[in-house]
Each structure stands twice: as C-alpha cells, then as structure tokens.
Amino acid sequence: MSAGDAFLCAATGLFVATLIKVRALRKNPGDPLLRAVCAMLFVAALLFVAAAPEHIAVMNDVIGVPNAAAPVVYCIMTALAGIIIVLLIHWRGNEDERRTRRQTRLCLTAYAAVMVAIPVLFLLGDAPVERLRDLDTYYANTPYIREMIVLYLAAHSVAAATMTFLCWSWSRQVPGILRAGLLTIAAGATGTFAYDVLKYTAVVARWLGEDLDWLSSRAAFAVAGVSAFLVAAGFLIPPVGEGAVSSWKALRRFRQLRPLWLEIRPEIPPTSPRSMPWWRSVFLRLTQRERDIYDVVHRLGPYFDAATGRAVYAAALAEHRERSRAREEADAAVIAAAVIAKGSAGPPFGPGGRWVVTSLEDPQDLVRMSHALARSPRVRAVRGSAAFPGPARA
C-alpha cells in the first residue's frame, strides 16, 4: 500500500466519523463543542488527503506552480492545530462564558494570522525545484521559505504543547472514559510535538551544514500518522465509550428483566406490539419490555393475594434478615400467583385482601424482583401451587 493509499484510508475513516458527528450536530446545531468536533474531524481528514506525496504532486500540477501545495498543507495543519485548541477550550468548559469566547477569539485570530502569513512568505520566496517529501530541509536556507517553515512549525509546536499540558492536567481531575480520552489525546499531542522536534532538528542541521534530512522526510512522516490517529481517537473515545457503556447497561438490564417478563407474558394483550427483533436498538427493546411489565402488573392488581405476600415476606425475612429483599420476594411471589389466578379465571380479591406491590418504584427493585422470580424457592413453591413452607425457625 502506498503512502497515498494509507492516507486515503485514514481520511475515509475521519470523513465517516465527521458524518456521524454532523448527524448529531443537526439535532443540536447550537452546541459549540459539537461544531468544533465536526470541524476538527473534517480538517484532519482533509489534511490526510492533502499531505500524501502523491497528492502533493497532483496539487502542484493543478495549480501550475512548483511546491504550491506546501503552503496549502501548512495552512491546513495550522488550522487543525487552532481548531483542536478551541475544541479543548469548549470541552473543558468555563463558568465565565465571556472568558471562553475571548479565549476562542484569541486562538482563532492568532492562527488565522499564521495562515495568512504562510502563503505570503511563500510568494515572497523562491522555490523552483519541486520537493515532495523534503521541502523543509531542501529550502531550509532559502529566504522567506525558511521563515515560512519556522512559522508553521512554531504554530504547530505551540498547539502540541498546549494540548499536552491541558490534557495531562485535566486528566487528573476526571475519571473513567473521559480520562482515557484525555490521556489518548495527550499521547497523540506528545507525538505531534515529537514530529516538530524531528523537523526542527533536521532544519537546524541544514543551517549548520549537516544532513539529517531523514529525520524530516521519514521519521517525522511516520510519527505524524500515529499522532494524528491518537488525537482523533482521543476525541472519539468519550462519546463512543459512553455510548457503548450505556448500551451494555441497557442490554444487561434487558436480560435481567427476562424472568419477570416471561412470568407476565401470558397476560400481555394480543393487541400489544410484538417484541422487537434482536437487531433493533437495545434501548427501544428495553423500553418495550419495561412497558409490558408495568402495564401487566397494574392490570393484575386485583389478583394480588395479601395472604401469599405476607407468608412469603415472613419466610424471606426470617431467612435473610433484609426487609427490602423480603419485600421483593413477596412481590415476585404475588405476581406469579396472580398470573396463575387470572389465567384460571379465578375471582379477584376484595380491596382488603389485596397485596400492594411496591417493587415497581425503583428500577433496581424491579431487577431484584425478576431475580427472585428466577431463583427464590418460595416463589417456585407458589408458582407450583405446592404447600408453601412457613418461616424458618432460628
């Protein structure tokens, strides 16, 4: 695979990530953080397209000026550096919105000035020989071109150092997935700074009459791809990771509620929507399962036997010494008995003989009640219509 193909693959991935974030931005167009993320991903993708040597040659041919692609690539790198700093400013947040806006304007103004100066210096200089990989060192002693190279490297270094410092310091204050994302960005920013150091070393070597061009044309080239990938990944880890964690928690709860849902399934009205297939969103499937449970349990209210509930509660309390756990077992047993009673067309209980199920109030109570339906011997006894064992003696 050529460098151009590798860069195009990276650009494709970044463009796809951009489209994903643009969809989120359409739902919340006023979010400055989302705007900055979209801009960062798009400009990073654009940089991968423009920076490959094969694509630099194409741009030079299209523009008709040798090395004209160099200021274009440098401007894109500078824009990306400025956008990432703005993104970090908005990501971290600040209670003083005016200060945040002032910092954003200052950063954008400074980097816009650099982006204007880069093509001006290129036009003032003279670079007639096309160099696709080693322009920085080949023209390191050429007036104006030399200043252009130092200027873009300086702007890039300031952004890399700022990113590294902000992300390392902020990562100490936050936990979990956000910290992982910040540490990944910091690692990428450190690599970006290493890229600049390699470039500086090769350029200074030229000033001193030495030849260390390989540091700029090969070593820095390899470091740039890795660091750019790490920075982009660091910004994507928190939203993707949080989404994955949320999906896992929803799937876990969906499975935990299965025993309770299977228990009440015979009483789900045939007019209710059919269960969603596995490929549908787990959040939608969980919502449907919880809705079925709540609807059926409320309809079963007249069949909740207070005597069954009291007996199971007393036995569970005598065994576990935990009131909440005993209550959940009692509620589970009452629901199991109610499904049997209603299914056999038994008469409902009067208001004085009804048990009140309270385990619907807390989401975790619902899960524990489902667990009791699957494992409690007292619930199995009620479900099997066997003689219910009384409270265990101490």
The 10s digit of each residue's pLDDT in 10-66 is 677 677 778 877 877 887 887 777 787 788 888 888 888 888 778 888 899 999 999
Q: Which of 202, 376, 370 is nearest to 294 (CA)?
A: 370
The tokens describing 49, both together, are 């397209």
Task: Report which secondary-structure segment, H or E, holds 5.
Answer: helix 3-27
Q: What's the pLDDT score for residue 235?
A: 74
Rounded Cα distance, 317 and 329, in Å: 10
Per-residue pLDDT, averaged over 113-129, amounts to 93
CA distances from 6 to 1, 75, 169, 267 (A): 7, 22, 33, 58
Number of DSSP helices (H) and strands (E) in the chain, helices first: 16, 0
Q: Which of 86, 4, 81, 76 is nearest to 46 (CA)?
A: 76
Q: Which of 312, 309, 392 is nearest to 357 (CA)?
A: 309
Per-residue pLDDT tens for 52-73?
778 888 899 999 999 999 999 9
Q: Which of 1, 36, 376, 4 is nearest to 221 (CA)?
A: 4
Residue 256 has pLDDT above 90, yes or no: yes
The tokens describing 4, both together, are 């151009």
Q: What's the pLDDT score for residue 392?
A: 37
Q: What's the pLDDT score for residue 142?
A: 93
Q: What's the pLDDT score for residue 132?
A: 84
Per-residue pLDDT tens for 328-387?
899 999 999 999 888 887 788 888 888 888 877 777 888 988 998 888 888 888 887 644
When mean pLDDT is compared across 20-34, 170-184, 274-288, the lowest value belongs to 20-34
Rounded to 10 deg, the angle between the 306-320 and 323-343 helix axes is 150
Overall pTM > 0.95: no
Per-residue pLDDT, averaged over 155-182, amounts to 86
Residue with tokens 């409690």: 376
Q: Which of 137, 193, 133 is nearest to 162 (CA)?
A: 193
Per-residue pLDDT, averaged over 76-87, amounts to 86
Rounded Cα distance, 118 and 136, in Å: 13
In which band, very low, low, confident or very high, does the pLDDT at 129 lie, cut at 50, 70 and 90? Answer: very high
Rounded Cα distance, 40 and 117, in Å: 22
Q: What's the pLDDT score for residue 200?
A: 93
